[in-house]
Structure formats: structure tokens, C-alpha cells
């Protein structure tokens, strides 16, 4: 499989993941959205030296991955391109912030090192939470949830159509590059001289297909409002999920749980 169709099927795999039937999948999409937003908000709000406090927040994604029956490696694999970028954000900190913070044996740990680790962890955790949301909630349910929050229908339709059309463009690109490589054996990638026409064709073909797809939607009564999949009624379990997770996040933010536990053990 070439890179493009690989990327395409990866995108489609998110649909497959989202169609699962685990406990997490069955939670109300609005509740999941709420918890995810709260989680990210709280994770980001930790102080830059508060690494020990932040550690506890790892618990949420770990538990959720278990409950959703999605192997964590899927996350690392799918986001292998983005993760290094997120981690690179704090790389300069150790050089900028040399204030000693603590000491382990002879090793002085500066504020920069701690804040770098905190920043990296924050990035990863936020990504994990978003990934979990998308991987356990079909995109139309997500849009439906947003509509319930009175997000304008233009925006939700835009989100949904973008998601669908990205697949269309990638599909066209992969079909074209396959056709190209079949007639240019032994050539790696696409020769620079063909790039102009390749991109032009890609644009035209994607536009044509998008147009046809849109007609096909219009022909079946589409007028700007999607009937997003029926959002299941909000059950007690979903409400409990919101209450328990959000109070846990709040606790973790106010009290340094790792530190407390550590103290217990040491005593």
C-alpha cells in the first residue's frame, strides 16, 4: 500500500474505532465532550513546575483506554507525526531556566528541566484526551452533540463535510499516484515535472467528486442540516461519569495527590 492510501485507510479506521460498543462508546457524546474539555482545561492550568501534581492526571486516559478497549499503541501509532512536535515545544526550557529546583544526590534539577517535562506531559495528555473522544464517538454524534449546544449548523456541517471530503481528496490522490506509478515503474514518488499537472488534476477531480457527492446529498433531501445519528438519551451512567471524572480532576488540581500518597508511604 502506498503512503496515501495508507493515510486514507488510517483515517477511515477512526470511523471503525468510533463504531465500537464498549462502555465508553455508549456514554452520552455531550458528556464525553464536556469531560474532555474540562480535562484539557485543567491539565493545561497546572503550574509549570507542578509535575508531581500533573502525574495523577495520567490516570484518566489510562483508565479510559482500558475501558474503551482501545490499545494505547494505536494512539501512539496514529499520532506518531504530531507527538514529537508536541514534545519539542519545551526543549529550549532547560537552557532558558537554570534556577535549581531540587536535588537528587549530586544531580541538580533545574526549573527548566521540570517545566520541560511538565509541558511535554501536558501536550501528550491533551492529545490523548482528544484522541479518546474522537476514537469513541462517531463524528456525526459529535456534531450532533455540538448542535445540542447550539453551535450553528453551518459550523457543524462544515466540520462533518471536511471530515468526509478529506477522505475524498486522499482517495483521489492515492488513485492517481497508483495510476502514475503503474506507468512509471522504478520511479520513486512523482517526478517534479509532473507535479503541476498532478496537483491541478487532483484539485479538479476532487472538486468534481465533491460536487457529485453534494448533489447526491441534495437529491436525498439535504438542506444544510444533518440528521446526526440519534443521540442516545443521557443515562445515569453518563451523568455519573461526568460527576466522578470532573470532581476527580478538580481534586487533583487542588490537592497534590501524588505528594499525599508519597507522604503516607514514607511515614
Cα distances (angstroms) measured from residue 20 to each of 2, 25, 68, 218, 230 = 27, 6, 8, 30, 16
The number of residues making up the chain comes to: 267
Residue 39 in grid coordinates:
480535562
Residue 168 CB, nearest distance to another protein (Å)? 9
Of 21, 32, 11, the residue nearest 235 (C-alpha):
32
16 binds another protein (CB under 8 A): yes
- For residues 224 and 157, is the Cβ–Cβ distance under 8 A? yes
| Residue 243 in contact with another protein, rule: CB under 8 A | no
By CB under 8 A, tell whether 21 contacts another protein.
no
The answer to whether residue 212 forms part of the interface with another protein (CB under 8 A) is yes
Q: Using CB atoms within 10 A of its CB, is residue 9 exposed (0-12), middle (13-18) or buried (19+)? A: middle
Q: Which of 227, 233, 264, 266 binds another protein (CB under 8 A)?
A: 227
Can residue 186 be called a binding residue for another protein (CB under 8 A)? no
Could you tell me where the DSSP H helices lie in 137-235?
139-148, 153-183, 192-219
Q: Which is nearer to another protein, 233 or 265 (CB)?
A: 233
Question: Whole-angstrom Cα distance, residue 168 to residue 173?
Answer: 9
Does residue 22 bind another protein (CB under 8 A)? Answer: no
DSSP 8-class letter at 38: H
233 binds another protein (CB under 8 A): no
From 69, 209, 234, 246, residue interacting with another protein (rule: CB under 8 A): 209
With CB under 8 A as the contact rule, the residue among 107, 221, 236, 267 that binds another protein is: 221
Exactly one of 178, 216, 237, 263 binds another protein (CB under 8 A); that residue is 216
Name the site residues for another protein (rule: CB under 8 A): 9, 12, 15-16, 19, 138, 140, 164, 167, 171, 209, 212-213, 215-223, 227, 229-230
Amino acid at each position: 500500500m502506498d503512503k496515501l492510501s495508507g493515510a486514507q485507510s488510517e483515517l477511515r479506521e477512526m470511523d471503525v474505532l468510533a463504531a465500537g460498543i464498549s462502555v465508553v462508546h455508549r456514554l452520552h457524546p455531550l458528556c464525553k465532550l464536556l469531560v474532555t474539555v474540562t480535562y484539557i482545561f485543567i491539565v493545561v492550568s497546572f503550574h509549570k513546575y507542578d509535575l508531581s501534581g500533573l502525574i495523577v492526571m495520567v490516570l484518566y486516559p489510562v483508565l479510559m483506554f482500558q475501558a474503551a478497549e482501545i490499545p494505547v499503541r494505536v494512539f501512539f501509532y496514529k499520532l506518531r507525526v504530531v507527538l514529537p512536535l508536541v514534545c519539542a515545544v519545551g526543549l529550549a526550557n532547560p537552557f532558558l531556566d537554570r534556577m535549581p529546583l531540587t536535588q537528587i544526590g549530586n544531580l541538580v534539577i533545574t526549573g527548566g528541566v521540570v517545566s520541560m517535562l511538565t509541558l511535554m506531559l501536558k501536550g501528550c495528555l491533551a492529545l490523548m484526551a482528544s484522541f479518546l473522544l474522537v476514537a469513541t464517538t462517531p463524528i456525526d454524534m459529535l456534531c450532533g452533540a455540538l448542535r445540542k449546544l447550539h453551535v450553528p449548523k453551518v459550523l457543524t456541517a462544515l466540520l462533518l463535510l471536511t471530515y468526509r471530503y478529506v477522505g475524498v481528496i486522499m482517495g483521489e490522490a492515492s488513485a492517481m499516484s497508483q495510476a502514475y506509478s503503474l506507468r512509471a515503474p522504478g520511479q520513486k514518488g512523482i517526478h517534479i515535472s509532473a507535479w503541476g499537472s498532478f496537483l491541478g488534476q487532483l484539485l479538479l477531480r476532487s472538486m468534481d467528486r465533491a460536487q457529485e457527492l453534494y448533489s447526491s446529498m441534495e437529491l436525498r433531501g439535504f438542506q444544510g442540516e444533518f440528521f446526526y445519528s440519534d443521540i442516545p438519551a443521557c443515562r445515569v451512567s453518563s451523568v455519573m461519569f461526568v460527576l466522578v471524572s470532573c470532581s476527580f480532576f478538580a481534586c487533583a488540581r487542588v490537592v497534590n495527590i501524588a505528594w499525599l500518597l508519597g507522604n503516607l508511604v514514607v511515614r
